[in-house]
A = this chain, B = another copy of it.
Amino acid sequence: MVKAPRCGPYICGIDAALDVVSGKWKGLILWELDAHRVRRFAELRRGLPGVSEKMLTQHLREMEQDGLVHRKVYAEVPPRVEYSLTEHGRTLNQALEPLGAWGVERIRREGSEVVDTAKASR
A residues neighboring B (CB under 8 Å) = 7-18, 20-22, 27-28, 31, 48-49, 88, 91-92, 94-107, 110, 112-116, 119-120, 122
Minimum CB–CB distance for A101 against chain B, Å: 6
Residues of B within 8 A of A94 (CB): 98
Can you list 6 residue pairs at the A/B interface with Cβ under 8 Å? A9-B114, A10-B113, A13-B120, A14-B21, A16-B104, A91-B105
B102 touches A7 (CB 8 A): no
A28 touches B9 (CB 8 A): no
Inter-chain CA distance A107–B116, complex, in Å, is 34
Residues of B within 8 A of A102 (CB): 13, 17, 91-92, 95
